[in-house]
Amino acid sequence: MQLPRGYGTYGWGYGAIDRSAPDVHASRHPFDVRNFGDHFPYSIALAFVGLLESLLTAQIVDEMTDTDSNKNKEAKGQGISNIIAGCFGGMAGCAMIGQSGINIKSGGRGRLSTFVAGAFLMVLMVVLNDVLIKIPMAALVAVMIMVSIGTFDWSSLKRLTKAPKSDAAVMIVTVLIVLYTHDLSKGVFAGVLLSMIFFSAKISKVAVEKTEDIQAKKTTYRISGQIFFASVQDFVSKFDFKEKADAIVIDFSRSKIWDASAVGAVDTVVLKYQLLGIPVQVEGLDEESSLLLEKLATSESKIS
């Protein structure tokens, strides 16, 4: 019986590897607005996932070897090499967690280990091409499964029950989206977005300590927390605009103003008291918060 093309004794998985040397060539697709728009989303996804995996790999390798790598240099090197590889028709690449972990566990510490891995891969492609294409895909899949088992941090499953619920939710949602969509970039994007939301919720809580000086008829509000777009409503609600006082002091020594929304909230509080005929004094601002308040505060509030 004649087997279909591409089908071998061990099943589907046989292929061919081009032995010819790479050469510089122009893209077969013309560089115009239409093609740029078609390829741009995929380029962003590749760059996002590749950069994230490289930085994650660098962090894991740093922990395994107790060293400190230069993440900026790693990112620049990856970008330059991918641009050059593209000129030769090569595919984009990045640092790989599994292979790097096996390299470290096997004793590799310097650049020589990386060079030997690349050189041996070239030997396989050029010299042992006929042998390499006879390896069934099923065998390679089995190898990758064992690599995944060996490099997976199984202790993270135990920490999942002890970790904060928000952290556990981010991990579970990221894994489920990757498994459902078969797209790592979508899972990572969802995980990052969810982490940002949880982080904003955590730091958006503002505490206010109110003290009254009855003799001087002065009320002091000591603010604790970060004032930004997510916490401005909570910040404004902490003030009592019906109290009887001759002066109001807002102490930001344990707080920080981050954006225009925060400045607007401070403006709102100051203007409300001024409409009641009560002067407001703002103190304890750090240099960045003070400059931001001077630039964006309305002239009517006259914050002192």
What are the residues facing 282 on neighbouring strands?
250
Q: What pLDDT does 16 receive? A: 59
Confidence of residue 23 (pLDDT cuts 50, 70, 90): low
Q: Distance between CA 255 and CA 224 in Å, rounded?
A: 5
* Sign of the alpha-carbon torsion through 53, 55, 59, 62: positive
Domain covering 207-296 in this structure, CATH number: 3.30.750.24
Confidence of residue 4 (pLDDT cuts 50, 70, 90): very low
Q: What pLDDT does 18 receive? A: 62
Average pLDDT over residues 137-158: 79
Residue 3 has pLDDT above 60, yes or no: no
Residues 6+ apart with CB under 8 A from 191: 170, 171, 173, 174, 177
Lowest-pLDDT choice from 92-96, 156-160, 178-182, 204-208: 156-160
pLDDT digits (tens, 9 = 90+) for 124-143: 877 887 787 788 888 888 88
Q: What pLDDT does 11 receive? A: 44
Q: How far is CA 170 from CA 125, 176, 198, 241, in A?
A: 40, 10, 9, 40
Pure H helices in 66-203:
71-87, 97-105, 111-126, 129-132, 137-151, 155-160, 165-181, 184-203
Residue 148 has pLDDT above 80, yes or no: no
Q: How far is CA 66 from CA 58, 72, 102, in A?
A: 11, 18, 16
Q: For residue 161, which phi and psi values (nearest 5 degrees)?
A: -80, -20
pLDDT digits (tens, 9 = 90+) for 205-228: 888 888 887 777 788 888 888 888
CA-closest candidate to residue 168, choices 156, 180, 151, 152 = 156
Cβ atoms 206, 195 nearer than 8 A:
no
pLDDT digits (tens, 9 = 90+) for 40-96: 888 888 888 888 888 888 888 888 788 888 888 888 888 898 888 887 777 788 887
CA-closest candidate to residue 188, choices 87, 18, 14, 50 = 50
pLDDT digits (tens, 9 = 90+) for 81-116: 888 888 777 778 888 777 787 788 788 877 888 888
Cβ atoms 263, 293 nearer than 8 A:
yes
Residue 46, exposed/middle/buried by CB under 10 A (0-12, 13-18, 19+)? Answer: middle
Confidence of residue 2 (pLDDT cuts 50, 70, 90): very low
> How many Cα atoms are found within 13 Å in the side-chain-facing hemisphere of 161?
4
Q: Which residue has the higher pLDDT, 23 or 26?
A: 23
* Domain-wise residue ranges, the chain: 24-109, 112-152, 154-203, 207-296
Q: CB 289: neighbour CB atoms within 10 A?
A: 20
Confidence of residue 6 (pLDDT cuts 50, 70, 90): very low
Confidence of residue 270 (pLDDT cuts 50, 70, 90): confident
Average pLDDT over residues 259-282: 86
Residue located via tokens 């090197």? 77
What are the residues facing 208 on neighbouring strands?
223
